[in-house]
Amino acid sequence: MKPTKSLNLCVFLLLLLAPISQSGKSRGSNKSVKISHFPTRVEAFTTDVKVEVIGGARHAIVKLFYGNEREAIAGQLVTEASRRSQLIFDCGYFIRKGNYKFKYYDPTTSKNSLASSILRVEWPNLAMNFKTTGQLYSADNEVLLSFPQVQLCKSYLMKNYKTKVSIRQQSGEITSLEHPNFPTSQPLLFSCDSLTTPGGYYAAVYVIAYNSTLLVAKSETVQFQWSSRYDVIVYDDNWFCADTEEILLKIKKPPCAPTNDKIQMTVVHNQYSSDVIHTYDVNSASELSFPCLDSTETETAGICFSYMTSQDTVLRKRCFDTSKNSEFNMDGSWSTWSTWNVCTRSCNNTILRRHRNCDNPQPLGDGQACEGVHKNSLDFILHSLNRF
């Protein structure tokens, strides 16, 4: 009889503990937990996202992640255990294109996510304007990113975001500016002397948030060239100064040209021989004077005046025949292309035109004329916006 009583006691204890064990498994399993969100797809900077937790436990947490990043952007507690709980995530969290993930965690049962949901974020309609003449030192360059026909959300988070605009080449950043707000309502101005060498440049707009700098959009590449405003004009072609004591030049240059540009005076003896006799800095002058040629000099066939950068790049060259007893031959060279002029047809097609002249210098004597075309045009120009 003693073994029978002992067996009955064991069965009794198992029956007594069984409901308790079953209840604990039910509370901790979270097998029935589901999360969903509305809307299912959103545009960045535009709307809050509602997350619904079905069958969640009290004090569970829903975390928000971007892409495959391991660090959560934000998280919210499920404050009450109920069949349906609703959480709202601020629109200021959704500022990048791509997939965001909502993950449900119950720290009382597991360190792993027990349910998840993916939200797709797209860019809204963006308009990016990189306004420039495409000629160095000619005018300020403007960059503006705007959201036409888009109602941006009013988020307390976005008050802490900043705008960064960068002008770049393939080799990297050339210059940048920051603005304390994102987005900005006014264009950011880059001074006309911020870009100094010919080549392709593009503008990139970033939002600075979460201690990170995130690319939003970039413009097409714009080709910059030297300005067509450079010129040296001789007031009087009396090189030997019979009536005056100097040769006076009028200088033309773009408004932001560096002050260490220079004008060089060269005498040409023949096709193979020339000498630089004077070099003066331009500074802020609009006129410069050079000493006259020696009237007894009989081997001077020509004279040239060159507008040059401090790195000796010739931007404009004028040559003149001063020969008395020798022939002066000078090959022609093209001037810089002019800026593009827009011609809009009645059928709404657009043509861009530009031109250049064979006068940098112009051919003299038996010198060769320039090779190539002096006019250029592009039809059906399309400008696209690269968004990220």
Q: Are strands 162-169 and 74-77 parallel, antiparallel or unpaired?
A: unpaired
Task: Say what the pLDDT of residue 31 is.
Answer: 55
Q: Are strands 115-122 and 41-43 parallel, antiparallel or unpaired?
A: parallel
- Among left, alpha and beta (phi > 0; psi -120 to 50; other), residue 382 is beta
Residue closest to 106 by CA, chosen among 92, 85, 120, 89: 85
Q: How far apart are CA 276 and CA 269, in angstroms?
A: 11
Number of Cβ atoms within 10 Å of the Cβ of 21: 10
Cα angle, residue 113 at apex, residues 87 and 64 outer, rounded to 5°? 40
300 φ/ψ angles, rounded to the nearest 5 degrees: -85, 115
CA angle (58 as vertex; 57, 59 as ends), nearest 5: 115
Q: Is the bond into 107 cis (omega within 30 degrees of 0)?
A: no
| Predicted confidence (pLDDT) per residue in 36-90, tens digit | 988 889 999 999 999 999 988 888 999 999 999 999 999 999 987 777 889 999 9
What per-residue confidence (pLDDT) applies to 279?
94
pTM listed for this prediction: 0.76
Q: Which pLDDT score is estimated for 104?
A: 95
Residues 322, 302 contacting (CB under 8 angstroms):
yes
Supply 105's token pair.
């965690």
Give all strands of the β-sheet with 246-252 in edge-to-edge order.
Answer: 231-234, 246-252, 287-291
Tell me the three-class secondary structure of the chain, residue by residue.
CHHHHHHHHHHHHHHHHHHHHHHHHHHHHCCCCEEEEECCEEECCCCCEEEEEEEECCCCEEEEEECCCCCCCEEEECCCCEEEEEEEECHHHCCCCEEEEEEEECCCCCCCCCEEEEEEEECCCCEEEEECCCECCCCCEEEEEECCCCCCCCCCCHHHCEEEEEEEECCEEEEEEEECCCCCCCCEEECCCCCCCCEEEEEEEEEEECCEEEEEEECCCEEEECCCCCEEEECCCCCCCCCCCEEEEEEECCCCCCCCCEEEEEEEEECCEEEEEEEEECCCCCEEEEECCCCCCCCCCEEEEEEECCCCCEEEEEEEECCCCCCCCECCCCCCCCCCEEEECCCCCEEEEEECCCCCCCCECCCCCCCCCCEEEEECCCCCCEEC
Residue the block writes with tokens 């006076």: 248
Q: Tokens representing 274?
A: 């020339």
Report d(CA 201, CA 195) in Å as an integer: 9
pLDDT in tens, the chain (388 residues): 444 444 344 433 333 333 332 223 334 444 578 999 888 899 999 999 999 999 888 889 999 999 999 999 999 999 877 778 899 999 999 999 999 999 999 988 888 899 999 999 998 988 888 999 899 999 999 999 988 888 888 898 988 999 999 999 999 999 999 999 998 889 999 999 999 999 999 999 999 987 889 999 999 999 999 999 999 998 876 666 666 678 889 999 999 999 999 999 998 887 778 889 999 999 988 999 988 877 656 567 888 999 999 999 999 999 888 876 567 788 888 888 887 776 655 555 667 778 888 989 888 888 889 898 888 776 644 444 455 5
